[in-house]
């Protein structure tokens, strides 16, 4: 139970606002409007710390602290980019197959602009529901 593998898909909800257009026009900055659209990939986790919290008399909730590393693709408004990520998270297991997950992730990729390539390093905070499927 210390090691795990998984897959992820994230949809980014971004849009260009009138304020962004005004600032871009008035100050001649952000010449290229590149926004994330979605990302997908796989990852491995290692959970060196596990424990439980008792909410007497209601329940005992099992927790696991894990580190994560993975690779995948990120779609921006310009193209698909290979991406890598590393992270740290905690899972609160409510059932053997169901958990609430909160994680901090650093997503890295190279964006291609008209005049240059630029390394992007995005810090994400994620929260979600995880379904665990035991394989052995």
Query: Does 56 score more than 90 pLDDT?
Result: no
DSSP 19: H
Alpha-carbon distances of 104 from 39, 58, 92, 93, rounded to whole Å:
16, 29, 15, 18
pLDDT band at 123 (very low <50, low <70, confident <90, very high): very high
Residue 39 CB coordination number (10 Å): 23
Query: How do 117-131 and 59-76 pair as beta strands?
Result: unpaired
Q: Which of 92, 110, 114, 131 is nearest to 30 (CA)?
A: 114
pLDDT band at 41 (very low <50, low <70, confident <90, very high): very high
- d(CA 34, CA 76) in angstroms, rounded, equals 6
- d(CA 54, CA 59) in angstroms, rounded, equals 6
The mean-pLDDT minimum among 17-26, 73-82, 88-97 falls in 17-26
How much is the mean pLDDT over the chain? 88
Sort 83 into a burial class: Cβ within 10 Å, 0-12 / 13-18 / 19+: buried
Highest mean pLDDT among 6-10, 29-33, 104-108: 104-108
């Amino acid at each position: 139970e210390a090691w795990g593998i998984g897959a992820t898909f994230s949809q980014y909800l971004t849009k260009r606002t009138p304020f962004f257009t005004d600032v871009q026009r008035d100050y001649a900055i952000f010449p290229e409007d590149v926004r994330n659209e979605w990302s997908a990939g796989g990852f491995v986790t290692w959970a060196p710390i596990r424990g439980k919290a008792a909410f007497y008399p209601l329940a005992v909730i099992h927790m696991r602290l894990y580190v994560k590393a993975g690779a995948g693709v990120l779609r921006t408004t310009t193209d698909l980019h290979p991406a890598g990520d590393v992270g740290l998270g905690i899972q609160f297991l409510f059932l053997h197959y169901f958990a609430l997950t909160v994680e901090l992730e650093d997503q890295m990729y190279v964006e291609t602009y008209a005049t240059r390539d630029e390394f992007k390093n995005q810090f994400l905070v994620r929260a979600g529901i995880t379904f665990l499927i035991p394989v052995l």
